[in-house]
Amino acid sequence: MKKRFVVLLLALLVSCSKPSSSVKSEGSMSDQAAIATKEIYELLAAGDKDSITELQERTSDSYLAQIFDTSSLNWPKAHGYKAFLAWGAGESGCDASGCEVRWTLVFVEGGVILDASFDPDLKLTSLKFTPGTLKKDEADCQCQKESVIVDAGSYPLNGMLTYPAQGSPKAVILILSGSGGNNMDEDIGVNYPLLELSEFLAGEGIASLRFDKRTYQYASDMALISYKLSLEDEYLQDARAALELLYDNPDLKGIPIYLLGHSQGGSLLSLVVDEAHPADGYIILAGTSRPLNEVLLEQQLMSLKQAGWSQEDLNKYQDSLAGSYQRLDEILAMSEDEVYGLQENVFWLPAYYIWYLNHHDVAAAHLKDDLPVLLLQGEADQQVTMKDFEIWKKKLAGLSDFTAISFPELNHLFGDYPYQEEDLQELVSVEYQYRTPFCYDVVEAIVEWVNAHE
């Protein structure tokens, strides 16, 4: 009998997980085997007398000799994987003969796949380590997918249209990722929030289009011209080209088109739309309400405070930035021709990029077009905080149709990280290395909003 594998995600136990008949209950054999695998690895890693005794009791007689083989006990460390970070994605399945589990161990040095087998009594019968990480699981996607090319003229980008598995979509959403070199899934650590979001939306009858950023697909080319880049190059030209793909798609004729952006992608949505590129509304996921240089400076100060700096030291640090503030004022006073191509960084950003950010008022653009806006924010987000959420609420209060919702416990990836809040400097190395699926409560809020605007 073939074993049936299901996605293994610890965060599926939290309330914001998607209801799914394919995911077994917390007390199922599949879940018990997954938990046993984690416990057995921790016993191996501990290696003390009590741990070894418990490990013997949890191992089948036929496998006792192999489990205590030195190569098994020390495999990760012997192969250079020394600094364990978190448990990544995995899968498990059971039948009458027992259970099999595959789980990614995330180390600073890379990923290791742990394969474990159990007999029907959940006694360990085999254990193997191999380098690598498990691929993203798409088995439960109630959707169809079509690869497309988003081409604004200079840098063709890989894109993905995701449709409902059956029937015509009731709306389509263009999805933009956050700052930096992101791919269409927005892979961060062991998480891929935009892939999950697109699949969840398809299951609710909503199509979507997402695409790789230039700064991901053409990273080396973009690095060579970084002092000439602006939001036009990084986002807006390609977003408008993506909209044109949606306009020309016969399967999407006559349905609403919404723009959704995460992080910085959410902050600039109102700059994408113009007379030639209309849309029906915006969905902002943890979008920055201020120029990126302000957010980066705030993050720097927060990191220093978390590292133990006193308020006096923080004040001295801010005083030391007086020259940077003065130079920023000088740059912002320049004309676009003067600052374009200026090979200088201010507050960690190229001069022209920071000039462009500060010369475009995204909130004013929202108020001008007066399209509906849905603002969503995780209250445990340390990158774009509730401060930005409150600023958005004030800036967009004049809109005819504005909805703002925050979600307790959710982080910047709209996942529920179950452990103590990490310091800002350890978000990527620790928190984002823990698998936190995109919270389905957020999906439901989007779907409800879309349904209300049909």
Summarised one tens digit per residue, pLDDT across range 242-252 is 999 999 999 99
Domains 4-131 and 143-320+361-452 are alike in CATH topology: no
Say what the pLDDT of residue 239 is: 97
pLDDT beyond 60 at 374: yes
pLDDT beyond 60 at 217: yes
**Contacts (Cβ under 8 Å, ≥6 apart) of 263:** 177, 178, 179, 285, 286, 287, 288, 383, 384, 412
pLDDT beyond 70 at 203: yes
Percentage of residues in the chain having pLDDT higher than 90:
46
Tell me which residue of 123, 128, 67 sits closest to 99, measured CA to CA: 123
pLDDT beyond 90 at 10: no
Least confident of 212-221, 231-240, 298-307: 298-307
DSSP state of 191: B
CATH of domain 143-320+361-452: 3.40.50.1820
Least confident of 17-31, 96-110, 189-203, 242-256: 17-31
Least confident of 23-32, 113-122, 155-164, 245-254: 23-32
pLDDT beyond 60 at 27: no
Distance CA 317, CA 303 (A): 13
Summarised one tens digit per residue, pLDDT across range 117-154 is 999 999 999 888 988 777 665 546 779 999 999 999 98
For the chain, the domains span: 4-131, 143-320+361-452
DSSP 5-69: EEEE-GGGGSTTSPP-TTSPPTTSHHHHHHHHHHHHHHHHHH-SHHHHHHHHHTB-GGGHHHHTS
Summarised one tens digit per residue, pLDDT across range 45-97 is 887 888 888 888 898 888 877 766 645 567 788 888 888 877 777 778 898 89
Say what the pLDDT of residue 53 is: 87
DSSP 234-264: IIIHHHHHHHHHHHH-GGGTTS-EEEEEETH
pTM, entire model: 0.75
For 148, counting Cβ atoms within 10 Å of its Cβ (0-12 exposed, 13-18 middle, 19+ buried), the class is: middle
How is domain 4-131 classified at the architecture level of CATH?
Roll (3.10)
